[in-house]
A and B are shown apart, each in its own frame.
Chain A
Amino acid sequence: MKEAKIITRDLTLHYSQKMALNSINIQIPEKEVTAFIGPSGCGKSTFLRCLNRMNDLIPNVHIKGEILIDGLNIYQKKIDVVNLRKKIGMVFQKSNPFAKSIFENVAYGPRINGINNMKLLTGIVERSLKNAAIWDEVKDRMHDSALGLSGGQQQRLCIARTLAVEPEIILMDEPASALDPISTGKIEELIFELKKNYTIVIVTHNMQQAARVSDFTAFFYLGELIEHGKTRKIFTAPDNKQTEEYITGRFG
């Protein structure tokens, strides 16, 4: 196992009074793909959104415990959340391009970081679009609205937009759940390419997808981390009975 990029210690999260995550301890390795699986409402998305502090936006969320990224607790007071989110990109379930041109969507992140030199921006945008495997499809219409792209293209554009900020970690919240099989396949190939350079955490409902793309799998159930290990092991010989029942489709 490579070095751990993300480590959580007794991470517990409450929505008002209701416990959504119960004492999660996990180590997520660098430059590998880790998949979170589990039935709806098991806390896997909530956990993912703790990793870039997206849950800060929701009122009445209380978090205890620690999340260490490169050894630094991201929930300590002096952490700059804005800088943290530049380091940890996120791709959402529903593709959410801005109502701007394809170019401006990708340039958004660099621009807010103060890069306004057109030559520099053009280079970043081109590189990001190439890395997100969508360059060939959009290179001739960079200044058309991003909303004119298909769902799958929009999602890859959102990945390109995330790459443009040069994060180290990419969180993906069911990135392919709204896409057709061909688009899904493209996203999965892309994830395979991206893990050479990025640590990827992906939440998925699709067990085959988890098996195909991930190196490690974590199974969540009712706010608890039930089992975490190499994907091959989780899918062939899980230690826990609940994991086995979920994977073989007996519940969930």
Chain B
Amino acid sequence: MRLKNKLIGGAIVTSSAISVVLIIAVIVIILVVTIIGGKDKLSWEFLTSFPKEGMMEGGIFPAIYGTVLLVIIMSIAAVPFGTITAIYLSEYAHEKSWLAQTIRFAVRTLATVPSIIFGLFGLGFFIKFVGVGMDNWFLGGQLRWAQPNLLWGSLTMALLTLPVVIVSVEEAIRTVPMELREASLALGATKWQTIWKVVIPGSISGIMTGTILAVSRGAGEVAPILFTGAAYYLATLPTSVSDQFMNLGYHIYVMSTQSSNVDQTLPIQFATTLVLLMLTFTLNFTAVLIRSRLRRRVK
């Protein structure tokens, strides 16, 4: 019996160790390969100039610009909406009410839906339904909103990142002690005053964590914007939310599959990958830092 336990324990430890080594190895390999492949290309000029010569030369500025705009508009949509939902779930809804249970079920399901499905949904809902509707109602059938653009891409991405925001904000709200809510209510504050002046300030770091995680997810995903707004190549920067945009992740995909000479663009691909990796790593690392500070406070 003892021997059996020892064997099982040993097997668990060994397989965990192998997994850890594998994961670290993969990360290291990805980093080393992209750094070696992209370091010569990476320069200030690369970050700030347009692609040239059919994207064989030049930089990736429009892709960075488009990605930043995408995540900003996405956050403007996802963070307030997600925060309000999280407040509803934790402060207003009864644990067993059908509405709260439905929302929780939807949030969990949403989090598991493959991102390409979000892209198709965005195409069907935002472009073919809302966009066509808007053009018919407001522009007399003139084509403006019924095509991929920055707004639809951002909103589709917002749907994808909504569960991330809701879950992190709700977790943070639950760490605000009940005693503080009681103190506020006992002073004659209304429920909403209590939420606004005590609960939200107390969970601000969770709201920030949720936002950063959503931004990093949104910056890295490509599938949701494939049909809803990302462009292969644009000679000018988007100036309105009804314009299409370039995107870092999509740019990597384009360069590695659509380019007329994949080998020649390899350094650009690596350098773009490196930029995207650094962006998402930094964002995630910041989120983890804020979250660990939040968790410490709870103890």
A positions within 8 Å CB-CB of B: 52, 54, 57, 59, 82-83, 85-86, 89-90, 92, 94, 96-99, 108-109, 112-113, 158, 161-162, 165
- Tell whether B183 is near chain A: CB-to-CB under 8 Å: yes
In contact, A96 and B188 (Cβ under 8 angstroms): no
- Tell whether B190 is near chain A: CB-to-CB under 8 Å: yes
In contact, A96 and B180 (Cβ under 8 angstroms): yes
Tell me the smallest distance from the CB of A132 to a CB of chain B, in Å.
14
**Known contacts A98-B180, A158-B183, A82 near B189 by CB under 8 Å:** yes
**Known contacts A98-B198, A99-B202, A112-B197, A85 near B188 by CB under 8 Å:** yes
In contact, A82 and B184 (Cβ under 8 angstroms): no
Please indicate which of the listed interface residues B186, B190, B197 has the most CB atoms of chain A within 10 Å of its own CB. B186
In contact, A92 and B183 (Cβ under 8 angstroms): yes
In contact, B182 and A54 (Cβ under 8 angstroms): yes
Q: Which of A57, A86, A94, A98 contacts B188 (CB 8 A)?
A: A86
Q: Give A41 to B184 CA distance when docked, in angstroms.
A: 25
In contact, A98 and B183 (Cβ under 8 angstroms): yes
In contact, A92 and B188 (Cβ under 8 angstroms): no
Closest to B187 in A: A109
Q: Give A99 to B204 CA distance when docked, in angstroms.
A: 12
Query: Could you jot down 8 A-B contacts, CB within 8 Å?
Result: A59-B94, A83-B188, A85-B185, A90-B186, A96-B180, A96-B182, A108-B197, A112-B190
- Tell whether B179 is near chain A: CB-to-CB under 8 Å: yes
Tell me the smallest distance from the CB of A121 to a CB of chain B, in Å.
15
Chain A residues with CB below 8 A from B190, complex form: 82, 112
Interface residues in B, total, Cβ within 8 A: 18
In contact, B188 and A109 (Cβ under 8 angstroms): yes
**Known contacts A98-B198, A99-B201, A99-B202, A112 near B179 by CB under 8 Å:** no
Tell me the smallest distance from the CB of A57 to a CB of chain B, in Å.
7
In contact, B183 and A57 (Cβ under 8 angstroms): no
**Known contacts A54-B182, A108-B197, A112-B193, A96 near B177 by CB under 8 Å:** yes
Tell me the smallest distance from the CB of B206 to a CB of chain A, in Å.
14
In contact, B186 and A52 (Cβ under 8 angstroms): yes
Interface string of B115-148 (1 = CB under 8 A from A): 0000000000000000000000000000000000
In contact, B179 and A94 (Cβ under 8 angstroms): yes
Interface string of B168-207 (1 = CB under 8 A from A): 0000000001011011111111100100011001100000
Tell me the smallest distance from the CB of B276 to a CB of chain A, in Å.
37
Closest to B186 in A: A90
In contact, B184 and A92 (Cβ under 8 angstroms): no
In contact, A92 and B187 (Cβ under 8 angstroms): no
**Known contacts A99-B202, A112-B193, A82 near B183 by CB under 8 Å:** no
In contact, B179 and A92 (Cβ under 8 angstroms): yes
**Known contacts A99-B201, A112-B197, A92 near B182 by CB under 8 Å:** yes
Chain A residues with CB below 8 A from B182, complex form: 54, 57, 90, 92, 96
**Known contacts A92-B179, A99-B202, A112-B193, A54 near B187 by CB under 8 Å:** no
Given A59-B94, A85-B185, A85-B187, list of 12 further CB < 8 A pairs?
Answer: A52-B186, A57-B182, A57-B185, A86-B188, A92-B183, A92-B186, A96-B177, A96-B183, A98-B180, A98-B198, A165-B187, A165-B188
Chain A residues with CB below 8 A from B202, complex form: 99
Q: Give A89 to B188 CA distance when docked, in angstroms.
A: 8
In contact, A112 and B188 (Cβ under 8 angstroms): yes
Closest to A99 in B: B202
In contact, B197 and A85 (Cβ under 8 angstroms): no
Q: Give A129 to B180 CA distance when docked, in angstroms.
A: 20
Please indicate which of the listed interface residues B180, B189, B193 has the most CB atoms of chain A within 10 Å of its own CB. B189
Q: Give A96 to B177 CA distance when docked, in angstroms.
A: 9
Q: Give A59 to B93 CA distance when docked, in angstroms.
A: 12
Closest to B178 in A: A57
In contact, B180 and A108 (Cβ under 8 angstroms): no
Chain A residues with CB below 8 A from B193, complex form: 112
Closest to B297 in A: A99
Chain A residues with CB below 8 A from B177, complex form: 96
Chain A residues with CB below 8 A from B94, complex form: 59
In contact, A96 and B187 (Cβ under 8 angstroms): no
Tell me the smallest distance from the CB of B205 to a CB of chain A, in Å.
11
In contact, A82 and B201 (Cβ under 8 angstroms): no
Q: Give A16 to B242 CA distance when docked, in angstroms.
A: 56
Chain A residues with CB below 8 A from B184, complex form: 98, 108
Interface string of B240-280 (1 = CB under 8 A from A): 00000000000000000000000000000000000000000
In contact, B180 and A89 (Cβ under 8 angstroms): no
